Structures are given as structure tokens and as C-alpha cells.
């Protein structure tokens, strides 16, 4: 009796693993086309339209950063307003030292990232609900420290001193700044999730204890994401400051309402997806635009939308669509082709 064996190449050959492929090319091409079209809007529409879109841009950036924290690293932070406020107030400092507010946004993001590194050692001593409460307390402490500086306006807020005088140019530059921050937040999240760190994050989110037992450096991965999200929120805070020509009050810029908005947008759009925060931000932007002047009805509509989505679409608007169709603008899953 003769036993026939397969060649060594056939025995050891493994099916190829692909990620995205044509879908990735189409998604990135479509995204580039949308961003280019949006960048051209100051030449095509009146400045009032782009002024409204500035808010949408920083909402998308904020939602993407909170989704990166909670949706992929499992950190339910309720204190991201600390970094939003720091981004706004540090912009005053760099502007007072002669740095243009638009270039200063990049400086502010880097400085806040450095500040978030030691803060993470304090925050990471807490877990679960204690982490959420602890991050909110940290934000309040940061606010109390900021209001002690008279040069920053103390408790009454402050205005920017060096902004382009021409209102049309100022609105255009502010819009481009907001668009750049939004693009960096979304595409940066996509780049992180396509890296080796992205695989570690998904394991950490599902079960950080099991991930650690498999060799994943849980603390390092969480710290990188925490610092990244802090830098993104600081950039959004700088955009808010430039768009408003200053800060009305520390209580406003350090308000917990920003964290509430981030949670709302991510839940509505779909937590744990790159596209979900974008969809959630657009949904909130439209609700705010058409119902913000309706008084109590505005809160009723927003609350009703959150309840309906939570009950009937627990994956969120985009999350439900992606789950049922498998469609993704930014695919990060691995596919085995037999």
C-alpha cells in the first residue's frame, strides 16, 4: 500500500488574509473627493454657510475622539471637556506669544498631549464607573486651576487678540481649520485601527484581562489612545475658541455638556464604528439647527431620538446598517479568501 502525501508547499500554505482591498480604495477615494469638495466651499457659497459647517466639523472630531476612547479602548470618559477647555485657553497663551491662532492649534494639541500623559497615570487608577466619575472630577479641577489666572480672564472668559481682521477671510480660514481637524480625527482613527495597535484595542475592549494574558500591553494601548483623544479634543477646543473669537466663560468651555454631546452622537451613530460618529454628528447637527429655537421641544426631540435609537437600533444608525449589509466606508476587518 502506497501513501501519497501532498507537497510541502500545499501542506504549509495558508489562505491569504486581506483587509479592505477594493473597498478600502473606494472608501478613501470617496473620502478624498468629499474633503476636496468641502474645502472648495468658501469659493462656492456665502460665508454664512461655511460658518455653520464649522460646528459640524468640530462635532465630528469630538465624536470620533470619544468613540476611539469608549468604542475601541473601553474607556467611558466623562471628562473630555478638560482637554477641550485646555485647548481653548492654551490658544490664548500661544497667541499672546505671537503665534497665529491657526498654526497655534497644532501647538496646542501637542502641549495638551504632553499634559495628558501624567494625567493618565491618575485616571488609570480607576476602573468602570469610577473612571467615568474620576475623569469628570479631573475636568473640574482643571477648570478651577484655570480660573485662578487673571491673564486668562479668570472667571469671566476672554477674547482673542490676534485674528484676521477681514471677517470673510477669518470665516474661511476658520472653516478650513475646522475641516482639517475633522479630517485628522476621522482619518487618524482609521489609521490607528488598521495598525497593530488597532487589533490590540479591540481585544482590550472585549476583555482587557484576557487580552493581557495573551501578551497585549493593555496599559500602554489605553494610554496611547487616551493621549491621542486628548490632543484631538484640544484641537476641537481651539476651533471652538477661534470660531467664537474667544471663550464666554470657563464654565461653558469646561461644561460636562460636551461629554454628553459626544456620548449622544456616538450612541446615535453607532459606537465601535468609524462612520458612526460622523452619522451621529450629522444627526445632532440637523436636530440642533432646526429645533434649537423651539425651547423645551428641542430637549424633547433630542431625548426622544436617543430613546428610540437605544430601544430599536441598539447598534446605532450606521452600526445597524453595517451589521445588516456588511458595508463599510472605512473597512478594518480581516477577510480570509479561500
Sign, CA torsion 236/241/244/249: positive
Half-sphere exposure of 311 (CA within 13 A, CB side): 6
In this predicted structure, what is the pLDDT of residue 80? Answer: 94
Distance linking the first and last C-alpha atoms of the chain? 32
What are 199's three cell numbers?
A: 487589533
The mean pLDDT values, 10 residues at a time, for the chain of 338 residues are: 49 56 76 92 88 94 95 90 95 89 93 96 90 93 91 82 74 94 94 85 80 85 94 96 88 92 94 93 92 82 88 90 85 64
The residues pairing with 221 across neighbouring beta strands, listed in sequence order, are none
pTM for this predicted structure: 0.89
Nearest to 301 by CA among 259, 270, 268: 268
- β-pairing, 17-18 vs 158-159, is unpaired
Is residue 264 within 8 Å of 284, Cβ to Cβ?
yes
Amino acid at each position: 500500500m502506497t501513501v501519497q502525501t501532498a507537497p510541502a508547499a500545499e501542506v504549509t500554505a495558508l489562505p491569504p488574509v486581506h483587509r479592505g482591498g477594493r473597498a478600502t480604495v473606494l472608501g478613501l477615494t470617496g473620502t478624498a473627493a468629499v474633503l476636496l469638495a468641502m474645502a472648495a466651499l468658501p469659493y462656492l457659497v456665502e460665508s454664512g454657510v461655511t460658518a455653520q459647517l464649522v460646528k459640524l466639523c468640530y462635532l465630528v472630531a469630538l465624536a470620533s475622539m470619544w468613540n476611539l476612547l469608549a468604542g475601541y479602548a473601553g474607556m467611558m470618559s466623562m471628562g473630555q471637556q478638560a482637554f477641550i477647555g485646555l485647548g481653548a485657553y492654551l490658544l490664548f497663551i500661544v497667541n499672546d506669544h505671537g503665534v497665529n491662532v491657526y498654526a497655534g492649534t497644532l501647538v496646542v494639541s501637542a502641549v495638551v498631549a504632553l499634559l495628558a500623559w501624567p494625567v493618565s497615570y491618575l485616571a488609570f487608577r480607576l476602573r468602570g464607573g469610577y473612571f467615568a466619575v474620576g475623569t469628570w472630577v479631573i475636568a473640574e479641577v482643571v477648570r478651577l486651576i484655570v480660573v485662578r489666572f487673571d491673564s486668562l480672564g479668570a472667571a469671566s472668559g476672554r477674547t482673542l487678540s490676534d485674528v484676521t481682521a477681514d471677517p470673510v477671510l477669518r470665516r474661511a480660514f476658520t472653516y478650513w481649520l475646522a475641516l482639517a481637524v475633522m479630517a485628522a480625527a476621522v482619518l487618524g482613527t482609521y489609521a490607528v485601527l488598521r495598525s497593530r495597535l488597532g487589533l490590540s484595542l479591540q481585544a482590550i475592549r472585549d476583555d482587557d484581562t484576557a487580552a493581557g494574558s495573551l501578551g497585549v500591553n493593555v496599559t500602554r494601548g489605553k494610554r496611547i489612545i487616551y493621549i491621542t483623544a486628548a490632543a484631538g479634543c484640544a484641537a476641537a477646543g481651539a476651533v471652538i475658541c477661534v470660531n467664537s473669537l474667544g471663550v464666554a466663560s470657563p464654565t461653558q468651555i469646561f461644561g460636562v455638556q460636551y461629554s454628553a454631546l459626544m456620548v449622544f452622537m456616538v450612541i446615535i451613530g453607532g459606537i465601535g464604528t468609524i462612520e458612526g460618529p460622523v452619522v451621529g454628528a450629522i444627526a445632532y447637527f440637523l436636530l440642533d439647527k432646526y429645533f434649537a429655537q423651539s425651547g423645551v421641544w428641542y430637549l424633547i426631540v433630542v431625548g426622544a431620538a436617543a430613546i428610540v435609537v437605544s430601544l430599536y437600533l441598539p447598534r446605532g444608525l450606521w452600526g445597524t446598517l453595517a451589521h445588516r449589509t456588511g458595508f463599510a466606508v472605512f473597512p478594518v476587518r480581516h477577510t480570509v479568501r479561500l
